[in-house]
Amino acid sequence: MLYKKLGKPILFSMDPEKAHHLTINGLHMAVALPGGKKLLNSLYGVPYSPALAQTLWGIEFANPIGLAAGLDKNAYAVEGFSQLGFGFMEVGTITPKPQQGNEQPRLFRLPEDGALINRMGFNNIGIEAMAQNLRRMKRRDIPIAINIGKNKTTPNESAEDDYRNCLRGLYELGDFFVVNISSPNTPDLRNLQHGNDLNRLLDAVKDEMEQQKEKHRHSGKPVLVKIAPDLTDDELEQTVRSIMDSGVSGIIATNTTLGREGLQHPNKEQTGGLSGKPLTRRSTEVIRRVYQLTEGKLPIIGSGGIFSAQDAYDKLRAGASLIEVYSALIYEGPELLGRLSQGLKTLLKKDGFTHISEAIGADHR
């Protein structure tokens, strides 16, 4: 209740992007104070539950709830977010070179719709500065995924070079990686989800991951692909087939949407990617279809409109192994993580399951 009574009224009185930076800087500063991490964990940490813990790709996840990419773009507040009860988090999207992103204002709240619209445009500090931030971390408490993209000025025919550079510069520092080809805010980026462009990019990514594996004498790291919710069924089928053929480790479904159906707030006219409650149903539908197309053989991270334990559970039953939140954290605050965790345990028990693995893809059985 602390967030809704005190934090949210202050943050929602501010410009959304300024509130975003205040949150990131506040979490960074909090863990720098003596006892700061312990205080955050005591306020918001989620108790460990064997029923929610699982191992995927050789990585241990204490619970299935992750932080989606876009909130901590530069890996500046990883230690702070790690104390809030997440089972993992994504940082980024990062690009090889720093870039300013699109002109402000570029982030908009739609409170009546429980939604956000952003057209940030991959604003970030670049791989070298992110690497410094990650190396400064004293301790890693949860798995970290690095979400990678291409610079705006890089044409699609050269996109693979940008993704290779991200992997080269950050390979040692990520537990796993996410190839972002589905943001609507970088011109033509979504075209990389299709046909020869997708095949060429994924071949390059897999080749680079193998090179880094040999260079660092490592057993290898997972790489996932993040897809859009706006694909037609035919497009989704072709995209998933290419992803399966490439041998990558998993899929994140989904990114933000260009759809505006049913919105009430005047900000619905803003361009950019829509996230939050309006995406709940569609993202679950995509997860269900991806699970069918892959026959459950490729782990899925479900993202889009998760505000309640039921929302999260629906995505697990549809086929997601892990889930991610973003917009709900803005609206509900860090107390959300405890409610999701406790709610998932209740829903598992209600269905007669003793472990989360029994619920994954249950709708298909």
Mean pLDDT of the chain: 96
pLDDT band at 185; cut points 50, 70, 90: confident
Residues with a catalytic annotation lie at 183
User: How large is the average pLDDT for residues 286-296?
Assistant: 98
Percentage of the chain modeled with pLDDT above 70: 100
Q: Compute the distance between CA of residue 4 and CA of residue 6 in angstroms, rounded to an integer.
A: 6
pLDDT band at 188; cut points 50, 70, 90: confident
Q: Compute the distance between CA of residue 87 and CA of residue 90 in angstroms, rounded to an integer.
A: 11
User: Angle CA(59)–CA(253)–CA(141) in degrees, nearest 5?
Assistant: 30
- For residue 296, count CB atoms less than 10 angstroms from its CB and return exposed for 0-12, middle for 13-18, buried for 19 or more: middle
Q: What is the pLDDT of residues 29-78, one digit of tens each?
A: 999 999 999 999 999 999 999 999 999 999 999 999 999 999 999 999 99
The secondary structure of residue 355, as a DSSP letter, is: S
**3-state SS, residue 338:** helix
- Assigned CATH class of 2-364: alpha beta
Give the chain's end-to-end CA distance (angstroms, integer). 39
Q: Compute the distance between CA of residue 90 and CA of residue 79 in angstroms, rounded to an integer.
A: 12
**3-state SS, residue 15:** coil
Q: What is the pTM of this model?
A: 0.97
Domain ranges for the chain, please list them.
2-364
What is the predicted pLDDT for the residue at 189? 87
105 preceded by a cis bond (ω within 30 of 0): yes
Q: What is the pLDDT of residues 295-351, one digit of tens each?
A: 999 999 999 999 999 999 999 999 999 999 999 999 999 999 999 999 999 999 999
Q: Compute the distance between CA of residue 110 and CA of residue 271 in angstroms, rounded to an integer.
A: 13
From residue 309, give the alpha-carbon distance in Å to each of 19, 64, 337, 342, 346. 26, 12, 9, 8, 9
Q: Is the pLDDT of residue 253 over 90?
A: yes
Q: Compute the distance between CA of residue 101 and CA of residue 325 in angstroms, rounded to an integer.
A: 23
Q: Is the pLDDT of residue 187 over 90?
A: no
The secondary structure of residue 187, as a DSSP letter, is: T
- Least confident piece of the model among 3-12, 299-308, 349-358: 3-12
